[in-house]
Amino acid sequence: MNNYGIKEALDVLGLSKSNKGSSTGKTWLQSITTKSISSYSPVDGALVGKVGITSKQDYELVVNSAIAAFKDWRMLPAPQRGEIVRQFGNKLRVYKEPLGKLVSYEMGKSYQEGLGEVQEMIDICDFAVGLSRQLNGMTMHSERPRHRMYDQYHPLGVVGIISAFNFPVAVWAWNTALAWVCGNVCIWKPSEKTPMCGVACQNIMAQVLRENDLPEGICTLINGDAEVGEWMTNDKRIPLISATGSTRMGRTVGATVAKRFGKTILELGGNNAIIVTPDADIEMTIIGAVFGAVGTAGQRCTSTRRLIIHESIYDTVKEKLVAAYKQLRIGNPLDENNHVGPLIDTDAVGTYNRALEAVDEVGGNTLVVGGVLEGEGYESGCYVKPSVVEAKNSYAIVQNETFAPILYLLKYLNLDEAIEMQNDVPQGLSSAIMTTNLREAEQFLSHAGSDCGIANVNIGTSGAEIGGAFGGEKETGGGRESGSDAWKAYMRRQTNTINYSAELPLAQGIKFDL
């Protein structure tokens, strides 16, 4: 590894000098507006950089650039589009270390997690390259003689991507790599909390576009607050909006896009639980639960929020869990000796504090006391202690997702009750069971088991692989990203019938003689 420092990483990624905001692909627009977003690192409170907020005029230039590029891009054979994605993946391999460091510094997750996020981008590019030769439809037998039927998939056009701060680059790549090989072009609005990561990715893809003399609008970028996002969600020229964020945001996006009969992929809140049965491997359980609860400082949509433990092993698990939390090291995430970095900003700290107050108000029993850390190394005001609380599933604070490292311990008597507790929340993203009992595992995965989009056995709730479709049910939103057949969401399906006879027989035996 080159062990890039922050300044060096910014230099390598082309982020040191300009105040960039909107891009039509290869060209950065000089906005008529003087408004900008300042990105401050939660690691040390320092300014990472500024980006210009996209004006309405710039937005129109970006959309028109994308529409123009789509007309050419869709006509390239899918394997040729896959070749471009392959080149992008190779560029990411070159820039993995500085981009991983930027992700860690701007968002606050550990450097290893930052590198892992860039690796997810590389992996989805590899997946998409193979997919570019497999965008297959189905053939059917017609009831009419000398007719052939099949279905095929066509690109939608312009895909709008709205991403969240907690995975500032990977979720965009999940969407855009698949959208590209399917023949779409993309407009990306990164989170206003991590805009520099978006600019960095745009700079990297711009190199690929220039080297292949491709239209600018294949990969475009806008920056701004909710108003800029509203332009996208209300825009009939963007047939698909893929949005990641809170359930509150998803309600607005889903309703707005549905009103114009557009399509959405919504990846929203999670309230994820691990069921721990008497047949669980306890050591494995502790590792999975702790990483799930404190990884990314509890700011993953798949973070473990609830641990549902059988009464016969409850005290044992509780004791080991508390002991494990005492070993956690909280501090600068660029120091690989630390386990937990900061929350994204002081607003998130306020949400964390209010959750702890709510726990006290309902009488939750705090086993590992939380709180905000102060002093040397914690000057940004964004570092907090992970907390563990004994609670009840019915508590309002347990029913709602808090994007922070707070883990609730719940007790159950039998597996049916545990599954009911696991499902008895509004969200439905990720779930897990820890057991070596085959019958328990299969019951958890059955029709009467977990109601989440992701259900795991003997692994935690976080850490999804790109080969599987990612997404959830209920207030998690719906739709799937990444692997499996998630690519179909980025295409329109068409049924084709070909008559190669000399007659025109009608379906269902209908006669129509002239």
Query: If we measure between CA atoms, which residue out of 6, 345, 48 comes closest to residue 195?
Result: 48
What is the full DSSP assignment across 432-453?
Answer: EEE-S-HHHHHHHHSTTS--SS
* 101: CB partners within 8 A, 6+ apart: 4, 6, 9, 111, 114, 334
* 7: CB partners within 8 A, 6+ apart: 16
Query: If we measure between CA atoms, which residue out of 233, 168, 226 comes closest to residue 195?
Result: 168
Our measurement of the distance from residue 209's CA atom to the centroid of its chain's CA atoms, rounded to an integer in Å, reads 25
Identity of the residue numbered 261: F
Helices (H) and strands (E) in the chain — how many of each? 15, 24
Per the residue annotation, which of 182, 186, 219, 301 is the catalytic one?
301
Q: In angstroms, rounded to a whole number, what is the distance separating the alpha carbons of residues 129 and 181?
A: 7
* 262: CB partners within 8 A, 6+ apart: 236, 238, 239, 240, 241
Query: Is 182 noted as a catalytic residue in this protein?
Result: no
Query: Is 382 noted as a catalytic residue in this protein?
Result: no
Pairing of strands 219-221, 185-189: parallel
Per the residue annotation, which of 97, 216, 267, 475 is the catalytic one?
267
Task: Kindly tell me the sign of the dihedral angle through the C-alpha atoms of 410, 108, 266, 117.
Answer: negative
Active site residues: 267, 301
